[in-house]
Amino acid sequence: MEELSQVLEGRGARHGVASGKLHALDARVVVYVEVPACRTVSWRLSRDAELRIGDACVWLTRHQDPYDYWLMPGDVVRLTRGERVWLSSETERAVEVSLTSYRAAPRNSAWARLVARFMPREVNAL
């Protein structure tokens, strides 16, 4: 997995193996997806997520990425919101993968709303 991490991190900031949680303090949402045997599934992500590979190898293709990735069991890849991905498997049975995302904590304070309105980039750093 360390080799995969080095390869993916060299491809740009939005590509890489996750080294930890996206947002450690926020609520976690986990969605399990089954990749049918010898088939391909595709979707566009509605939020940042970590893709965790189950107990079999999976082929990952990302939109606008010239490379494809052969992921091994236990690998974790960080995906970005709006990204389209394709997963396929060449095994004789379905493979289960999971997508883990974290809900952002609501910012209810007047100060946070003011900063978000006039300086949207700084809100993400708060």
* Tens digits of residue pLDDT in 66-77: 999 999 999 999
Average pLDDT over residues 9-32: 56
Q: Is the pLDDT of residue 19 over 70?
A: no
Predicted confidence at residue 111, as pLDDT, reads 72
> pLDDT by residue (tens digit) across 34-84?
999 989 999 898 889 999 998 899 999 999 889 999 999 999 999 998 999
Average pLDDT over residues 104-118: 68
Those residues with Cβ within 8 angstroms of residue 84's Cβ, 6 or more apart along the chain or in another chain:
42, 43, 44, 45, 62, 63
Cα–Cα dist 41/87, whole Å? 5
| Among 43, 52, 58, 59, CA closest to 17 | 52
Tell me which CATH code domain 2-125 carries: 2.60.120.10
Pairing of strands 76-79, 40-44: unpaired
Per the confidence metrics, is the pTM higher than 0.85?
no
